[in-house]
Structure 1
């Protein structure tokens, strides 16, 4: 196999996986929000898209080959996605995660054959350790917070899927929490390049202590209680110059309540979906009943079983 040939097994992710886009109305009289069901990706989150795309491009460039080792610094979904993609491509994977990350996430990474290294401190310390170890060992570092292939995955794949699914092929507004910044930037660029005249809206959770240390909900106003997102850490977002970006703050309690409401409607999502949906309702009310507002349900509920969002269901 030459350096530019992708492995033959399990080469299906971008070729055939198209997650649904559904109009979701939380209650009578509320605006319908177009929601991309990214929790239906193979490992249960939208991070499957960036993990596979980053690895495939690195493989084509000759930076990876069968048996190589991949490293990423992530408190949860991205590491899970990399672990799955590496298992499909015949690669080894080492996840560097904060000590505060939940056991559910560690188990999922290990189930796909990944190795987990817990690091004391926050994401800055985790990133530093992953960078140093990958450099010392000669391993490939995914660099989700800085790798432009992250944005490209959403611009080329997620965004183009949405444009092919939404009535009229045009989006008026895109709403998303901000972690790496890849989702909101990539989707905005896809819709803008298609001539939609789209605006971008960042969803920001307030009072983030309610999410506790198990949260992986994303925000522009970062907190030590939110592993995986630290102020100034995302080069993808900080380098983005978008004149049509608006911030929308949502109380954590509302995020969790909307997450439970989505469960009752049959959507097995995590708290970031409640955040995105809450902000989307605000945007839709501002733009009016004819606006086509798009958001993402980023991940599935099972990685949050020990999270506060499940407290009312515990015996």
Structure 2
């Protein structure tokens, strides 16, 4: 006779798969760069997922992975260490299958993200910094007899990178009718490193020529770990750009599938948000700004080399979650951040091909 827990797991998996079946694919949006004719830029808009971000894919994969490994049962409390977006998506899936959810997040997490976690029935457990989320999540899991989902360990293995409509398969399918259907580059940033791993593995599995560029913000160790090969690197400070960049090298970070990394100054990531708002007619999250700067750098290099082709970058989430931070003049002023010079420089670069005064030095490009 099948155990009660086995029946519950089967029902939970069916609910998650039914939710996936109700969802359409995310859009691929072209964005013109007038200064670089022949170089086509596309934004893979992951903000259109039910929970509003790229992390919806990850959360679904993590829940299926945990269920099929026998790590969750009908009495489990799900706990996750997160900077916000993954927690929003995991709260959604926890509610879907009837489990309580606790997000361990830094106090600096935007109020919009906290509200979204609570909207889906999750509870927020705040800690002082991003460095504390790991240990506190483990402690809560032990004390409550719950399951620590641990996105930073399992992100790179929970997703089926061969097919199953992962983000890479979706990108290449949507590019088939474009003028340059095989992208020269796919640009994404690293939070766990899971998305980069999925895209890089899929490209190699399909024997494509496309290369992967990972964009890394300030106060993140990923770039330096990529350059030096030292996975023990740590920082005290956390990234200003929520959702990407880490103070330690996460287990899911897989540098061997990355063809290039670009270190992006925070001021340019924030300036890119204002440029994208005018160009797209909508607001994007901070990590999208980071990705755009790296994509713009690649477009400029391709143009200068006389190359034509396409670049696809990930639009990770919408800007509605950052109205009190990145889009707030008060928030910027409190931190003495003047983004106007960066906005002007980005605009000049994208529309006129003007050399970027903030162009990244060689040690920031690997």
State the TM-score, normalized to the length of structure 1. Answer: 0.85
Give, in whole Å, the separation in 1 of the partners of 2:161 and 2:289: 21
Contact 1:201/1:248 (CA < 8 Å) preserved in 2?
A: yes
Matched with 2:84 is 76
Three-state SS of the structure 2 residue aligned to 1:309 is coil
Three-state SS of the structure 2 residue aligned to 1:308 is coil
Matched with 2:174 is 165
Provide closer, same or farther for how the CA distance between residues 269 and 154 of structure 1 changes in structure 2, counting only shifts above 3 A.
farther
Three-state SS of the structure 1 residue aligned to 2:313 is strand
The aligned length equals 302
1:25-64 aligned at under 5 Å gives the runs: 25-27=32-34, 29=36, 31-64=39-72
Provide closer, same or farther for how the CA distance between residues 138 and 267 of structure 1 changes in structure 2, counting only shifts above 3 A.
same
Provide closer, same or farther for how the CA distance between residues 205 and 223 of structure 1 changes in structure 2, counting only shifts above 3 A.
farther
Give, in whole Å, the separation in 1 of the partners of 2:136 and 2:281: 40
Q: Could you give the per-residue CA deviations for residues 26-83 of structure 1, whole angstroms, max 9, x where no partner exists?
A: 4454632121100111111100001011102222333223353111001211111111
Q: Could you give the per-residue CA deviations for residues 257-296 of structure 1, whole angstroms, max 9, x where no partner exists?
A: 2211212222331121111011012123334543322210
Find out whether 1:220 has 2:236 as its counterpart.
Answer: no
Contact 2:80/2:102 (CA < 8 Å) preserved in 1?
A: yes
Contact 1:151/1:183 (CA < 8 Å) preserved in 2?
A: no
Contact 1:3/1:59 (CA < 8 Å) preserved in 2?
A: no
Unaligned runs of 5+ in 2: 225-234, 333-366
Q: Could you give the per-residue CA deviations for residues 112-163 of structure 1, whole angstroms, max 9, x where no partner exists?
A: 100111123x222111010122133221211111104566256641111112
Contact 1:204/1:220 (CA < 8 Å) preserved in 2?
A: yes
1:1-315 aligned at under 5 Å gives the runs: 2-7=7-12, 8-9=14-15, 11-15=17-21, 16-27=23-34, 29=36, 31-120=39-128, 122-148=129-155, 152=159, 156=163, 157-167=166-176, 170-206=182-218, 220=223, 224-226=237-239, 229-237=245-253, 239-242=254-257, 245-264=259-278, 265-288=280-303, 289-311=307-329
Provide closer, same or farther for how the CA distance between residues 149 and 200 of structure 1 changes in structure 2, counting only shifts above 3 A.
closer
Give, in whole Å, the separation in 2 of the partners of 1:67 and 1:24: 47
State the TM-score, normalized to the length of structure 2. Answer: 0.74
Q: Could you give the per-residue CA deviations for residues 231-267 of structure 1, whole angstroms, max 9, x where no partner exists?
A: 3341111x5423x521223332222222112122223
Contact 2:213/2:261 (CA < 8 Å) preserved in 1?
A: yes
RMSD of Structure 2 on Structure 1 (CA):
2.7
Unaligned runs of 5+ in 1: 209-216
| CA shift for structure 1 position 164 | 0.9
